[in-house]
Every structure is written in C-alpha cells, then in structure tokens.
Copies of this chain bind each other. A is one copy, B any other.
Amino acid sequence: MEELSRGRALGKVTAVIEESERSPMGTMKKIMQENPDIVNMSIGEANFDPPAELIDIACRLSADKVNRRSLYTSTRGLPPLRQAIARYMKKTLGADADPDENILVTVGGTEALHLAIKVLVRPGDKVLLPNPGWGALEGLMRRQGPEILYYPLRKAHAWTVDTDAVLQAMHAGVKVLVVNSPSNPTGAMVVDPAGWARIMEKAKELDIFVFSDEVYHVYTYEGPFVSAVGLDPTFENLLLIDSFSKAFAVMGWRIGYAVAHPWLIRQMDVYKETVSACTPSIAQWAFAEYLDSCDAYLEQRRAMLKDNMEKMVARLNAIPGVFCPKAQGGFYLLPDFSALEPSSVAMVEKLLRGGVATAPGAAFGSMGEGCLRLLFSQEWLDVDKVVSRIEKTLTG
C-alpha cells in the first residue's frame, strides 16, 4: 500500500475509510484502457444502448428555455415522475404505491440505500445481509456501526437461500434484513414466492425492517418474479429499492427511487436535502415523459440478455471442473471454478493476463471464494472468444 502524507490539520483526524475498502473499479478501468483487447466482464454496468427515445426526450427538454429544466426540482422528486413511477411499479411489479406519500426519487439506488441506512441504522443494531452480496452495501452499513450478520446464498442450490435458515437468523434482535433479488453477484432469484411470504410474515411478527433491493427486476429469464412489495402493501416493514441505471443503461445519469412508509420517506427526503439537494433534473423530466412507453425496449434487451446468459452457461458448464448455475435474472453469473483454482483473486490476476477482466467472488463475501463474477450485459458479447480465453487460462 502506498504511503500517504497528510496535511497538518489532517494529522488530527482518524481515517474514516480504510484504503482496503476501495473497490478495484478504478484500477480495472485503467488496465482496460491501456489494453483495449481485454474483454470487460468485470464492472457492473449495462453494456447496451439506452433507449433512443429517452435520449431524444432528454435533449429536447434540456434545450427548453421556457420551462427551465435546469432548475432544482423538489427534493422528493418531480410529481409527474413519481406518478409515472407508480404506473411503472403497477405494470412491472404488480404493486401499488402512492406517488405523493410512498416514493422518493434518488441519485441511483445507491443513494436510496445510503439514506435509508442513515435514517434507520444505529451503532449496535443488528443487520442481516446476504453472503455473497454487493460490497458497497457492507461498506455503507459498516460506517453506521451495526453488528453485521450474514445469511448464506447456496452455491449448490443455484445461489438461492434456505428459507428456514433465514427465518432462524431473523431473531428479535435484528433490525434490518437486506434481500437482493435478482442478486448481484449471483444472478439468482434468491427467494421463492412461498419463502418471501414466510419471511415477510416473520418480519412483521418481530418488527424487522426488510430492504428489498430489486434493481434488476425488469430482467428475469425464468419463472415469475415475485416482488416483496405485494407482501406488505402498506410498507409497515418494507423498503423497496429500484433504479433506472441498469434497466435503461443510464448508470451515469444517477436516477433511482425508494418506496416506503410515508414516515420513512419524509425522513429520507429531509436527509437528502443536505446530501444531494435533488436528483438530476433532466433525467427526472426525461423519465417522466418516457417511462410509460418502455415495454418494447425492455422486451428486446431481455431477449438479448437471456441469449447471452444461456450461451455463457452452456459453454462454461462444458469446461471440466466448472459448475455454473443459470442466472434467473440480472446481468451476472457466479460460476464455481474452485476445482481449477481455489483462490478467486489469483484467478482474476491470471485472467487479466489472459485477456478477460473479471471480479473475484471473494470480494462479495466468503461464500463467493473459488468463484468469479462474470458480466453478460454486453450487446456485443462474443461468448466463444471469452469462454475460450477463460478455459485456456485456467486449464492450460
């Protein structure tokens, strides 16, 4: 680790963030810029074009001088966008939400999680997170000082949970349970409909707050997707997190939303005022106008993603020693390569030299060791080329 000098006044300050917390995203991007032949399967992005109609709307609204789209919006989010989100939720999740009371528009799903954690989690609280799970979530939680407990996603069961084990982990001392389905990094719909019902029932019984991170919900490939929202229609114990970043390939626009009880939404709203003031305005105006007409776009991308995923899974499972469950949703596969190389970090380093950038399973928790997270959202994905490189590097 590089030596860092500090300024004099800074000498009095303890680092709130360890250097080891840094994600390798910046380093990866740099290596890939320097080596354009490397195939990027590593960074969690939607590597397809955003809707052309959405871009057209954004340009037209940016240039609209009469309505001044560059002004602050309300911190809560534009009313027509919140109304459009309520219709989108009805259509894609089968769920009802009151645009005035239940919805907060946020700077991506990241800000929604950040605000909810700041409002709800206190030092010493117990929180229950998935292992493997999204690394930033753990970082966010850790800074609030709770005791972090984990429930496992099971590799041998296509990365789903054992509902009984989750129910057992949900004891009275737990304040927040986080569920992310479809999952980053595994691609699984981690809970089945019956399991979800039992989990929400226990959450209500013990007053546990459930954060349901469903940012990949529009891209599912088999079976019905079950949102948590229908199971707690008044949001007594539930916070839904969704984002347009991954669904519409506009990660850089920074727009998502939280759905929760009016009391929690008000608290997050006021907190947000001093964090980001408002969510980017052009993105809000553009989605307010676009969102009702997104069906064909989502259908096309879903077909492309499913095709990528199925080809990847077939080719990976054909490599002796590799076990790759299908993804039921989202952009990721988390195949098990441990029979070839037990250390996921060692694999990532080998594969980078072999021309494929991947993310080490261990970065998502102990249960991910021996696995690699592979992104399949690339519109241009050459499955043969990628899997050949992986096979050659790890078995050669």
Contacts and interface: CB of A to CB of B under 8 A. Distances in A.
Nearest to A4: B263
A276 B115 CA distance: 11
Interface string A108-146: 101100100011100000000000000010011001000
Nearest to A210: B9
Interface in A319-343: none
A276 B273 contact: no
Contacts of A73: 252
A224 interface: no
A281 B251 CA distance: 8
Given A7-B237, A236-B9, A26 B207 contact: no
Contact of A70 (B13, B69, B250, B262): B250
A70 B29 contact: no
Contacts of A262: 4-5
Interface in A16-35: 16-17, 19, 21-23, 25-26, 29
Interface in A31-79: 43, 45, 47, 49-50, 55-56, 58-59, 62-63, 65, 68-76
B16 A237 contact: no
A261 B6 contact: yes
Interface stretch (A87-95, A159-167, A264-272): A264-272
Contacts of A63: 55-56, 59
Interface string A2-15: 00111111111101
B9 A253 contact: no
Given A9-B237, A59-B62, A107-B276, A71 B251 contact: yes
A188 interface: no
A234 interface: yes
Contacts of A278: 252, 254
Given A7-B237, A12-B175, A252 B69 contact: yes
Interface string A237-258: 1000000000001111110000
Interface string A267-291: 1001101111111111100000000
A208 interface: yes
A65 B47 CA distance: 11
Contacts of A350: none
Contacts of A110: 274-277
A281 B253 CA distance: 6
Given A62-B58, A254-B107, A50 B76 contact: no
A5 B101 CA distance: 12
A151 interface: no
A10 B264 contact: yes
List the 7 closest pairs (A to B, CB-CB), nearest first.
Answer: A252-B281, A7-B236, A59-B59, A7-B261, A17-B270, A9-B209, A6-B263
Interface of A: 4-13, 15-17, 19, 21-23, 25-26, 29, 43, 45, 47, 49-50, 55-56, 58-59, 62-63, 65, 68-76, 107-108, 110-111, 114, 118-120, 136, 139-140, 143, 175, 203-204, 207-209, 234-237, 249-254, 261-264, 266-267, 270-271, 273-283
